[in-house]
Amino acid sequence: MNTAMLNTAVRAARNASGLIKRYMGRTDSLKIDQKHLNDFVTEVDKLSEQEIIGTLSEAYPDHAIYAEESGKHNKGDDDNKPTWIIDPLDGTTNFIHDIPQFAISIGMKAEGHLQVGVIYDPVRDELFTAMRGDGARLNNRKIRINPNTRLQGSLLGTGFPYYQYDHLDHYLAILKEVITKTSGVRRPGSAALDLAYTAAGRFDGFWEFNLQAWDIAAGALLVQEAGGIITDFNGEHDYMQTGDVLCGPPRVHQELLDIIRATA
């Protein structure tokens, strides 16, 4: 069941990526709207989302869909319906600026758990996949987090607050600690890819405030299936609701959580 869903999600992501690639480097001719402060959407986000929803709903007409640009579809009264959680273009700001760091993210939640996660980087043709209980893969090769990694000597990914500044002082206090205790920090601009990179061991951890469920769903499963820990800033599992995400190998996760608590 999950294998069939994973294959369908991969097909949906690849179809959408063909479309995104056609517009790459031609973004000056695109119509760009601002949804909220600093939150942009292009025609490409919308077309990509339509393409993905078309593929998924044809294969699974009974499933619900929760997508960044068009919201909820086919939800009905049943809160526990299997649900596809879609970000059709994560890293839109990069895309608009012709910075080649963006991805398609498709997660599937059913029976209270994330079951399938797909993150596809069309620029590098990197396909990150995970199935619950079956591990995580990059282009079909297993990826695993190194469980012995510690904060000292690590390279972390993060996202700066860009529209909600209530936690800016807390964020900067965390950053100050992290800068002095690690080898470095990167802010690439696609949270989905940051999570995929953490699953692949490229980053030794990641944290960001105020993300959305579609930024997180697929990447959270990837991190877990690669052997990492992902929580909210209380060390609990409400990260899809709160949008506050902290993840990495167990030790890095704990050390980061200690910093987040000590600076709050």
List the interface residues with Ca ion, window 184-213 (CB under 5 A): none
Smallest CA-to-CA distance from 47 within 25, 73, 67 is with 67
Supply the minimum distance, in Å, between the C-beta of residue 34 and ligand 2AM. Answer: 10
Supply the minimum distance, in Å, between the C-beta of residue 192 and Ca ion. Answer: 6
List the interface residues with Ca ion, window 47-76 (CB under 5 A): none
Supply the minimum distance, in Å, between the C-beta of residue 217 and ligand 2AM. Answer: 12
Q: Which does 162 bind (CB under 5 to 8 A by kind): ligand 2AM, Ca ion, none?
A: ligand 2AM
Question: Between 68 and 255, whose beta carbon lies closer to ligand 2AM?
Answer: 68
User: Amino acid identity, residue 125?
Assistant: D
DSSP 44-75: HHHHHHHHHHHHHHHH-TTSEEEETTTEEES-
Using CB under 5 A as the binding rule, whether residue 215 contacts Ca ion is answered as yes
Total residues interacting with Ca ion, rule: CB under 5 A: 3
| CB 243 within 8 Å of CB 216 | yes
| CB 65 within 8 Å of CB 84 | yes
Q: Nearest 5°: phi and psi at 22? A: -60, -30
Q: Which does 152 bind (CB under 5 to 8 A by kind): ligand 2AM, Ca ion, none?
A: none
Q: Nearest 5°: phi and psi at 116? A: -140, 140
List the interface residues with Ca ion, window 81-140 (CB under 5 A): 87, 90
Q: Which does 38 bind (CB under 5 to 8 A by kind): Ca ion, ligand 2AM, none?
A: ligand 2AM
Q: Is 149 left (phi over 0), alpha (psi -120 to 50) or beta?
A: beta
C-alpha of 251 from chain center: 22
Q: Is 2 left (phi over 0), alpha (psi -120 to 50) or beta?
A: alpha
Question: Between 85 and 110, whose beta carbon lies closer to ligand 2AM?
Answer: 85
Q: Which does 204 bind (CB under 5 to 8 A by kind): ligand 2AM, Ca ion, none?
A: none
Q: Which does 159 bind (CB under 5 to 8 A by kind): ligand 2AM, Ca ion, none?
A: ligand 2AM
Question: Between 67 and 114, whose beta carbon lies closer to ligand 2AM?
Answer: 67
| Positions in the binding site for Ca ion (CB under 5 A) | 87, 90, 215
